[in-house]
Amino acid sequence: MTQNLFHNKTAQWTVYVVFFICLAAVPSFVSDGFLLNQFATYGVYAMLALSISLCWGFGGILNLGQGIAFGLAAYGMAMTMQMQSQDASNPLPPFMANNSLDHLPFFWEPFWSTGFGIVLALLVPTLFYVIFGSLMFRARVSGPFIAIMTLAMLSALYTLILDMQPYTNGVNGISPPAALQIFGTEIDPYSTKAYWTVVALLLLTTVAAKLLTQSKFGLVIQALRGDPERVRFLGYDVAFYETVIYTVSGLIAAIAGCLWVMLVQYVSPAQLDVNFSITMVIWAGIGGRLSLLGAILGALMIQGGQSYLGDQFLNTWLLLLGGFFILVVRFLPRGLAGLLEKVLGMMAGRQRRDPDAIAPPRVVGAPAK
C-alpha cells in the first residue's frame, strides 16, 4: 500500500531539517545588516504563526487574542532594555519624568536585572494564559465564543496600556535607545548574532511543538478539535488539555514578543492591536493551520510579499492580498500545505483520505451540514 508522503513522519522530519539548514545558511550569503534584521523579524512572525497553528490547527481553539502574550512579553522586554540605559543616578526613563512621576513605579523595579526581567517577560504572559485559559475552558466556552473572549480580553489590555500613560508611555510606547546587553555582550539587532538567536529559538520551539503534536498528549488534543464532547465522555479532562495547549502556544508567542523587541527596539500598544492578532491567524490559515511548517511558511510568504511587493503595487497591493486570501480559502481549505498534501496524495496513486476527513471545529449556531 502506498502512503501519502505528506503523512510520513520521516519525510516530515526531513523537510524540517532541510528548512532549518536553509535558514542557518542564510548568513553565509547575506552580510547586509538590514536583510539579516529583516529575516530575523520574519523569523519572529514565523514563531507567531507556529503558535497559532498549535492552538488553532491542532487544538481547534481559534485564538484571536494571541497579541496578549506577544504584547505583554514585548513590554516586559522593552522595560528590561529600557532599564539597561538607566542607572542609579538617573533611574527614571525619560517619559516617566514627563508624566510627573518622581520615582520608579514598583513594578518596574525588577527590570533592573536583565535576567530577572526576561524571566518576568515570559512568566507573566504564561501565567496570564494559565489563569485566563482555565477560566474559559472550565466554563466550557467553545468555538467562536473563545475567539470573541480572547478578542475582548485583548481589547481590554490594549485600552488599559494606552490609558496608563505614566507607566507605559501610552500610545507612543517605549523605544529603548540601545541594543540589548546580555551575558556580557551586546546583541546588535543588525548582526548575525541576533539572527542566530532568532533561528535557534525558532528551531527549539518548532521541534518542541512538533514533538508535542506527535505525542499521546498531542493525539488527545487533535481529538478535541474533532469533538470535545466525545473526548469528555471518554473520561479525559478536556479543560486541562485545552488550557495546556493554549498556554504552550502563549509561551511561544511570548518568546516571539521578547525577540521582536530585541530586533526593533520598540513596543507600543500596536502590538496588542486586534488587526495584528488577526493577521497572525491569517498567516496560519494561508500556509495551512494543520501543518506547523505550513503556518511558518505562510507567515514568511505574506510578510515577504508585503515587504517586497507592497511598494511595487502601492495602490493595488491590498486588492491583490485580499483577492489571494479569498482564493486560498475558497479553493484550498487547508491552506497551501493542504494543496501539497493533495498533490502528494495523488502521486501516491490513490487518496487514502477524504479531503474533509479532518472536520473543522464545530461552531454553535452553524447550519448543519
Partner 1 sequence: MDITRRKILKGSTLAAAAAAAPHLWLPTSREAWGATLKKGEPIKVGLLFSLTGQLAVPEEDSTLVMQYAIEEINKNGGIAGHEIKPIIIDAKSDFNVYSEKAKELIMREKVIALFGCYTSASRKAILPIVMQQNSLLYYPTCYEGAECSQNTICTGPLANQHSKDLIPFMVKNFGKKCFFVGSNYVWPKESNKNAKLWLQNAGGELLGEEYIPLGSSEFGPVLNKIREAKPNFIFSTVVGASDIAFHKQFKQEGFKVDAMPIASLTTGEIETKAMGADVGAGHFLSAPYFQTLENPTNAKFVENFLKSKYGKNGSTHYNMEETYLSAYVFKYGLEKALKKTGNIEEVTSRMIRDVSGGIRVEDDVSPEGLIWIDGDNFNTWLKPKIGQCQADGSFKTVYQASEHVAPDPYSIYPNSGKCTADGLVAPDGKVRKNVI
Partner 2 sequence: MPHIEFASVVNALILGLSIASIWLIAAIGLTIIYGTVGVINMAHGEFIMLGAYTSYMLQSVFGLPFLLCIPASFIVVAAIGVVIERGLIRYLYNRPLDTLLATWGVSLVLMQGVRIIFGSDPKYIAVPEIFQSNVEFGFVNLSVLRIFIFGVTAAVVAGTVYLFYRTRFGMQVRAVMQNKEMAASFGIDADRVYMTTFAIGAGLAGIAGCLFGVLAIVLPTMGTAYVVQAFLVVVVGGGTLVGSVAASGLTGELQSIFAMISNDTFARFLLYVLIVVFLRFRPRGLFAVAKARR
Asked if residue 216 binds partner 2 (CB under 8 A), the reply is: no
Q: List binders of partner 1 among 150-189 (CB under 8 A).
A: 159, 162-163, 165, 169-173, 175-177, 179, 188
Q: For partner 2, which is the closer residue by CB, 11 or 130?
A: 130
Q: Which does 321 bind (CB under 5 to 8 A by kind): partner 1, partner 2, none?
A: partner 2
Q: Where are the alpha helices (DSSP H) in 53-143?
A: 67-84, 94-98, 114-138
155 binds, among partner 2, partner 1, none (CB under 5 to 8 A by kind): partner 2
Enter the C-alpha cell of residue 239.
479543560
324 binds partner 2 (CB under 8 A): yes
Among 71-79, 186-194, 211-219, 323-331, which window interacts with partner 2 (CB under 8 A)?
323-331
The stretch among 41-49, 202-210, 252-260, 277-285 that binds partner 2 (CB under 8 A) is 277-285
DSSP 256-300: HHHHHHHHH--B-GGGG-HHHHHHHHHHHHHH-TT-HHHHHHHHH
Among 148, 211, 207, 180, residue whose Cα is nearest residue 363? 148
44 closest CA partner among 251, 359, 232, 259: 259
Instruction: By CB under 8 A, tell whether 171 contacts partner 2.
Output: no
Q: Is there a contact between 77 and 121 (Cβ–Cβ < 8 Å)?
A: yes
Non-local CB neighbours of 260 within 8 Å, separated by 6+ positions? 41, 44, 70, 74, 77, 271
Q: Which helix (H) or strand (E) holds 180?
A: strand 180-182
357 part of the interface to partner 2, by CB under 8 A: no
Residue list 280-299, contact with partner 2 (CB under 8 A)? 281-282, 285-286
Return the bridge partners of 185, or none. Answer: 182
Query: If contact means CB under 5 to 8 A according to the sort of partner, which of partner 2, partner 1, none does residue 38 touch?
Result: partner 1
266 binds, among partner 1, partner 2, none (CB under 5 to 8 A by kind): partner 1
Residues that bind partner 1 (CB under 8 A): 27-29, 31-38, 41, 89-90, 94-95, 97-98, 159, 162-163, 165, 169-173, 175-177, 179, 188, 190-192, 264-266, 268, 270, 276, 306-307, 310-311, 314-315, 317-318
